[in-house]
Amino acid sequence: MKITRVGDDVTVLADHLEVPGIGFLPVNAYVLRAAAPVVVDTGLSLPDRRFVDELAAVLDPADVAWIWLTHPDRDHTGGLFDLIEAAPSARVVTTYLAVGIMSTERPLPMDRVHLLNPGQGLDVGDRILSAFRPPLFDNPATVGFHDGRGTYFSSDCFGAPMPSADLATCDDVRALPAAELRAAQLLWATVDSPWVHLVDPGRYLSGVEPVRALHPDVILSSHLPPAAGECDAFVDMLSAAPGSDPFVGPDQRALEEMLAGFERGGGVG
């Protein structure tokens, strides 16, 4: 995990996951240093990740006041229960639906939950975090937020697989040329939100317009390096997503060819 700063009050805990045939997917959690500190998501659910130990390099976990769970997918919840234990005063900001989804594996302690819906706000002492549903999402419980100071936490929206692990954890998305970034974002849009090809274009674009109107200075996606000054380009990319080529994943024949290639290369057995 790589730790970097964005501005004066946001820290990125940047991880990545290699996705064969697609690239290296950034997997970010964030710390918002508000008066009441907020941790946004808790990393990958892999046995070798020690999210709370990594977080301790940024702030004392016991000082965390809020854990904003953008949605309950396993690449966002890896350190959640360890952090709940390490931060006894923290409450988990999530939705009723997310609580239900998590209850199928490990229920959240309900006295530690703070339910919040898109359109509502959370007072963190020195600002109000305004909750929204991003234009693209893969989980119906997704809720991002704007911090009122120009930073837009978008969950999966705007994500992109990167061509290398170093780029996946870099501190500025502009390290990747703009044309390559746009292509990777459109790919991710079709992978993560395949429904984008099925919606009424007018209704979909009406969901994109609030981002254009807000025009955040910084966009922080769960699956993209930090992006400053990219709102116009990103909104244009979102607008093009319904007309992009749908993603078609490998089938069994392709899997067998990949496995055979690994065997020839000494990667299996």
Question: What CATH number has the domain bearing residue 219?
Answer: 3.60.15.10
Q: What is the pLDDT of residue 265?
A: 64
Reduce the DSSP state of residue 102 to 3 states and report it: helix
pLDDT digits (tens, 9 = 90+) for 239-249: 999 999 999 99
Q: What is the pLDDT of residue 268?
A: 40
Burial of 176 (0-12, 13-18, 19+ CB in 10 A): buried
Q: Which amino acid is at 23?
A: G
pLDDT digits (tens, 9 = 90+) for 18-64: 998 899 999 999 999 999 999 999 999 998 999 999 999 999 999 99
Residue where the block lists tokens 């697989």: 161
Q: What is the pLDDT of residue 257?
A: 87
Mean pLDDT check: name the lowest of 110-114, 143-147, 258-262: 258-262
Predicted TM-score (pTM) of this structure: 0.93
- Tokens at residue 45, please? 């659910």
* Position 148 in a domain: yes
Q: Indicate the pLDDT class of residue 263, thresholds 50, 70 and 90.
A: confident
How far is it, in rounded angstroms, from Cα 184 to Cα 158? Answer: 10
Domain range for 243: 2-264
Eight-class DSSP state of 152: E
User: In total, how many domains does the chain have?
Assistant: 1
Q: Indicate the pLDDT class of residue 196, thresholds 50, 70 and 90.
A: very high
* Position 207 in a domain: yes
From residue 268, how far is each of 17, 23, 52, 243, 246 by CA, in Å?
A: 20, 20, 33, 39, 31
* Position 201 in a domain: yes
Within 113-155, strands assigned E span 113-115, 121-123, 128-132, 144-146, 151-155
* Position 269 in a domain: no
Mean pLDDT, residues 116-142 = 97
